[in-house]
Structure 1
Amino acid sequence: MKYLITGATGYIGTQLAKKLAREGHTVNALYRSEAKTEGLKSEGIELFKGDISDRASLEKAAHGCDGVFHVAAFAKPWAKDPQTFYQQNVQGSLNVFKAAQYAGVSKVVFTSTAGVISPSNGTPSDEQTLRELAQFTHYESSKALAEEAAAELCREGMNIVTVNPTRVYGPGLLSDSNGVTRLIKMYLEGKFKFMPGDGSSIGNYAFIDDVVAGHVLAMENGKSGERYILGGGNVSFTEFFNLLSDVTGKDTHLYKIPIPLLKFAAKVMEIRANLTGTPPILTPPWVKKYLYNWELSTEKAERELGYHPTPIEEGLSKTVDWILRNGR
């Protein structure tokens, strides 16, 4: 089979391209910067320079493909112009969908985010849980709109499957999309020493190998118009760092930062970013998001796709080993 991958130089995209090539498929890898293509130079992967804002480049890259993995996104926590999120993640996605349709591609797997799913309230949320809260960030709002666009095209006859990765971690590119692994690296170096709030907020953490495999399974088994949470273990911040301490043997004392102080710091960082253009580490919407619990269920992906999450202890151990081996 032949597949186009947008965002092929990113954290998930690179590993997805390599997996498909190893399995004997042909990959058309869309890239913007030549400097980021080193990890894609292997047998079975053909490089296509282009951009999701450029329909012509997308149509060229999609020509002759059986499927498209639309992984590219503007996934940063902040942009000086918030419209960047919507131009890239909504209009860019529409461009990909339309290019796939024009090229006669039979199926598209669209990478959204679990951030658009409803926060949990005592029991794990799933793909059908009604979200009563507005989206917290421009990133999530733009992804939710892109999901709506995909759903509309599915109603018109396109075959688009949506996957919703949770907090992805594991070996690979230390980019904005791999923030959890960057946090683990900082913990190993003794540079991460604070706990958000009282540490009780729950998150769902997905190992990178599972997320990549989940994309392939979605292409093989996913149903058009459906969404699938690609996740892993549900743990609180306190449990996460306790597991990390067990895996690393490091017993780093973490200072609990009161939420009001975090909100104030985030606001100051955001003001500074708007004045200087330097991206902030935190923004108020992201602080607000992490006050909620994000206990999520992967039962649907397990049942319909054959998805198998790696236990978080095993995933953390593999991640720490990789960081130590690579000296990063």
Structure 2
Amino acid sequence: MNILVTGATGFLGGVVARRLAAAGHRVTGLGRDAARGQVLGADGVRFVPADLHDQAAWQAVLDQQDAVLHAAARSTLWGRWPDFVADNVTVSAALARASTRQGLRLVHISTPSVYNATGQHVQVSESTPIGPRFDSLYARSKYLAEQEVQSLCPDAAILRPRGIYGRGDTSILPRLARALRTGRLPRLTRHEVYTELTHVQNVAHACQLALEGKAAGLFNVTDGVSIPIWATLDTLADGLGAPRPQRYIPAAVVEGAARVLEGLAALHPARPEPPMTASGVRLLTRPMSLDLSRAREHLGYSPLIHPTQGLAEALEAAQEAQQ
């Protein structure tokens, strides 16, 4: 199968592109990082530099494909709304429209962040009512992107992987590691909080299943096992030789401080990302587990990597990064 992967020079896109190439598919990766693109070439992925805002730049490549994996996105908890719309909504709509016109299989990567403001936290299913309030601009934009994809390409599969981590991660574990090394991360709850993450290879596995199959609609994706956030942070701190979070500060106080920092950043002409965001604080204080029934039944998804193995690998990568 000829498969186009957007965001191929990013964390998830790169892993999926390599996995698909190793499985025998003819993979073309789009991205803006030429150096990373050259590395992809060494792994059997044809790299084409392209800005997704320029449809003419990717339309000719799309004409040669059987399927599209849309992994590119503005994935951050901070930014300007017009940028989120342009990068996440407008581009997704254009790819969905083109995929339908050309009869291509489309797999779109979304996020369970769309659930954060629903009040549902345990075994959350894809049928959970969403909106009109959202936890972040990112979540709102990804939900609107889903709406566009479902409307323009009804046969598309939309995956919602939660908390993608693993070797090569530039977001979750590296940010936590930096916070631990500074010794400034307080303990925000007096009780343990359980959540679910998704190893990048598990997401790549789900992507391959979705591309090779025909199932349509929304699919939650996780490692399938809940992990204790604060115990995991303690283990990460020990492995890095950093202090464990001990000083207790109520989450409401820290979240309030984050809102103040967000307000100050919003007043600055450059709108720099604040040291912490309210939605980022909530990720450490609110439980979340997802119902994987649809992915198991319709995609044939079963996690390949257990969090015990995945987090050990992530810790090893964090240790190597500080050497």
* TM-score between the two structures when normalised by the length of structure 2: 0.87
Distance in 1 separating the partners of 2:136 and 2:290: 19
Larger displacement relative to structure 2 (311-320 or 13-22)? 311-320
Deviations 1:1-55 (A, max 9, x none): 1111111111100111111111221111111232442431225321212122111
1:321 to partner: Cα distance:
2.4
1:202-241 to structure 2, matched below 5 A, reads 202-224=194-216, 226-232=217-223, 233-241=225-233
Q: Name the structure 1 match of 2:105.
A: 107
1:163-178 to structure 2, matched below 5 A, reads 163-174=159-170
- Note closer, same or farther for the CA distance 1:105–1:323 as it changes in structure 2 (3 Å cut): farther
Residue identity matched to 1:107: R
Q: Name the structure 1 match of 2:307.
A: 312
1:323 to partner: Cα distance:
3.2
Contact 2:4/2:62, CA 8 A, preserved across alignment: yes
- Note closer, same or farther for the CA distance 1:203–1:281 as it changes in structure 2 (3 Å cut): farther
Distance in 2 separating the partners of 1:282 and 1:69: 31
Distance in 2 separating the partners of 1:116 and 1:124: 14
1:134 to partner: Cα distance:
1.8
- Note closer, same or farther for the CA distance 1:70–1:170 as it changes in structure 2 (3 Å cut): same
Residue identity matched to 1:10: G
1:105 to partner: Cα distance:
4.3
1:229 to partner: Cα distance:
0.9
Q: Name the structure 2 match of 1:78.
A: 78
Residue identity matched to 2:125: D
- Note closer, same or farther for the CA distance 1:242–1:253 as it changes in structure 2 (3 Å cut): closer
Q: Name the structure 2 match of 1:89.
A: 88
Which residue, out of 284, 296, 307, partners 1:302?
296
> SS at the partner of 2:226?
strand
Distance in 2 separating the partners of 1:111 and 1:152: 16
1:139 to partner: Cα distance:
0.6
1:33-182 to structure 2, matched below 5 A, reads 33-79=33-79, 81-102=80-101, 104-117=102-115, 121=120, 123-131=122-130, 134-155=133-154, 159-174=155-170, 179-182=171-174
Number of aligned pairs? Answer: 318
Deviations 1:270-305 (A, max 9, x none): 234231532123223444565543221223212222
1:154 to partner: Cα distance:
3.5
1:235 to partner: Cα distance:
3.0
The runs of 5 or more residues in structure 2 that have no matched partner are none
- Note closer, same or farther for the CA distance 1:296–1:22 as it changes in structure 2 (3 Å cut): same
Deviations 1:92-134 (A, max 9, x none): 10111123234x2420000000111365647411112234672
Contact 2:93/2:152, CA 8 A, preserved across alignment: no
Contact 1:59/1:100, CA 8 A, preserved across alignment: no
The two structures, once aligned, show a CA RMSD in angstroms of 2.7
Deviations 1:298-322 (A, max 9, x none): 2321222222223222211122223
Distance in 2 separating the partners of 1:122 and 1:50: 38
1:91 to partner: Cα distance:
0.6
Larger displacement relative to structure 2 (264-273 or 20-29)? 264-273
* TM-score between the two structures when normalised by the length of structure 1: 0.86
